[in-house]
A = this chain, B = another copy of it.
Amino acid sequence: MSAPDPAMEPSPTAPASRPIGVFDSGVGGLTVVAALRELLPGESIFYLGDTARVPYGGKSRATIERYTLEIAGLLLAEHAKALVVACNTATALALPRLQESVRTPSVGVIGPGAQAAVEATKCGRIGVIGTRATIASRAYERALQALAPTVEVHALACPLFVPLVEEGWLEDPVTDAVIERYLTPLRDAGIDTLVLGCTHYPFLHERIARFLGPEIAIVDSARNCAVALKDLLEREGLVAGGSAGRLEVALTDPPGAFLGVANARLGLGIGQVQERAVQGVQRMS
């Protein structure tokens, strides 16, 4: 499949009432959905988690670009009026290509997260944690230094955090030991702000805060991504009326146990989960 065909984009009838298309490699992006529901309760959301190909965090740019464009095509088919890439890895590696290829406006999680970090830091030393692919892309460094050229960025891949979250070990001595192992060098580097550069990581927010102590601010990009989307909708005249937007959730593989954990912790009230096939992952009956 090449880039999504512009012809797939629906004609702009009643555009404001169309849903926000939110996408993540799995269900971590539901943390962004929770922030969107809070800030923009009138917006309908169609969430698509590419669970058949999760995780994206160890994969190459070419593969992640391809997956992102495929998922964008599915969201455009759902008449999305705007796209939210609620996945740091996909934002880091594929947002530029998505924005080149698709006319429907989109926001990622990295710009908003970087903005919040620059506002939070006093000493100018910012830590960023994420998947291997996000960190290797240096997307946060670029975004941070574009906003504040003198900030010192300490970036670190924490590949065990996603599987620990998906195992549901959210308050757990093993998870605390992994947090200590990964984050001690960042704390010792004298950062005063840490960006949670993966949408799974907000589930570990409290335990990370406990380890880092009150002097280090923790920025998660979910809230700031919601603010960026609100700005975008206002700018484009796409804000929905009303206050009871729908939430639909679709996955590319049947849901696992973690969806229930996430649903309960985030209070999203997800009901029936739909399935969508992506190229190479069509159901075989």
Chain A: interface residue total (CB-CB under 8 A): 37
Query: Does A254 lie within 8 Å of B60, measured CB to CB?
Result: yes
- Min CB gap A97→B, angstroms: 8
Of residues 265 to 285 in A, which have CB atoms within 8 Å of B's CB atoms? Answer: 278-285
Given the contacts A163-B159, A279-B279, A280-B280, A63 and B59 also touching, CB distance less than 8 Å: no
CA distance in complex: A278, B256 (Å): 25
Given the contacts A159-B166, A178-B174, A63 and B58 also touching, CB distance less than 8 Å: no
- This chain's copy number in the assembly: 2
Does A253 reach chain B (CB closer than 8 Å)? yes
Does A70 reach chain B (CB closer than 8 Å)? yes
- Of B159, B166, B173, the contact of A177 (CB 8 Å cutoff): B173
Query: Does B174 lie within 8 Å of A256, measured CB to CB?
Result: no
Does A167 reach chain B (CB closer than 8 Å)? yes
Of residues 56 to 91 in A, which have CB atoms within 8 Å of B's CB atoms? Answer: 58-60, 62-63, 65-66, 70
CA distance in complex: A59, B70 (Å): 19
Given the contacts A160-B167, A178-B174, A253 and B52 also touching, CB distance less than 8 Å: no
- Min CB gap A164→B, angstroms: 7
- Min CB gap A77→B, angstroms: 17
Query: Does A281 lie within 8 Å of B66, measured CB to CB?
Result: yes
- Of B65, B280, B284, the contact of A278 (CB 8 Å cutoff): B280
Query: Does B279 lie within 8 Å of A280, measured CB to CB?
Result: yes
Q: Smallest CB-CB separation from A162: which chain B residue?
A: B163
Which of chain B's residues have a CB closer than 8 A to the CB of A178? Answer: 174
- Of B59, B177, B281, the contact of A280 (CB 8 Å cutoff): B281
Of residues 142 to 172 in A, which have CB atoms within 8 Å of B's CB atoms? Answer: 159-160, 162-164, 166-167
Does A54 reach chain B (CB closer than 8 Å)? yes
Does A207 reach chain B (CB closer than 8 Å)? no
Query: Does B256 lie within 8 Å of A58, measured CB to CB?
Result: yes
- Min CB gap A262→B, angstroms: 14
Does A122 reach chain B (CB closer than 8 Å)? no
- Of B54, B62, B177, B254, the contact of A284 (CB 8 Å cutoff): B62
Query: Does B164 lie within 8 Å of A66, measured CB to CB?
Result: no
CA distance in complex: A224, B178 (Å): 35
- Min CB gap A18→B, angstroms: 27
Q: Apart from A53-B53, A54-B58, list 4 A-B contacts with CB within 8 A.
A: A51-B59, A70-B280, A132-B256, A174-B181
